[in-house]
Structure 1
Amino acid sequence: MLVGKIVKAAFYCGIGLVVGKTISSQKHKNDVKKVLSANYMDDHTKVELMQDLNGIKVDHKKDKKIQLDKNLNTVKNKSVILAKKVAYKLAK
């Protein structure tokens, strides 16, 4: 009697896990299809959503640091060019 209840409980738990996993994977597939077919989002947003859906962790601080370094180099170059132009005009 007790063994029968244990077997029955294990059977229902197994079925519950299989059904839950199937529903979860189907929901994930539907979410991926929705993200990929969304025309109102740019590619960067789609990539971020896909990373969130798949549980991929991305260090955005590194990306921001690279972008800040690029911006700083651009500003330095422009300021050097401007300083050269001003010095050239003052030398005339």
Structure 2
Amino acid sequence: MKNIIGAKLKAYRAKNGVSQFDLALKSKGKLSTSTTSTAETVTNYDPRLSTFIEMYRYVDTPFDELLTEMGYGESYQSTWYKRHKGNS
């Protein structure tokens, strides 16, 4: 998996003038400054699912686009998702 989420998180913080500490407060402690720093600097960072989901809340990218950028494109999508994509 490519570490796209860290770069996206850093871009969000830069765009919105949010420090790592501010993000920790905004996420009510779900994202510590240490976790955010690791995500933004470690190239092979692989967060737990709960951490990934919390980080996703702060990136300005549609979920399917984020997965594609991470290397999980169409071939990883379930047939149910492919049938219902865009029908919400």
Question: More helix per residue: 1 or 2?
Answer: 1
TM-score between both structures, scaled by the size of structure 1: 0.25
**Higher RCO (CA 8 Å, separation ≥ 6 residues):** 2
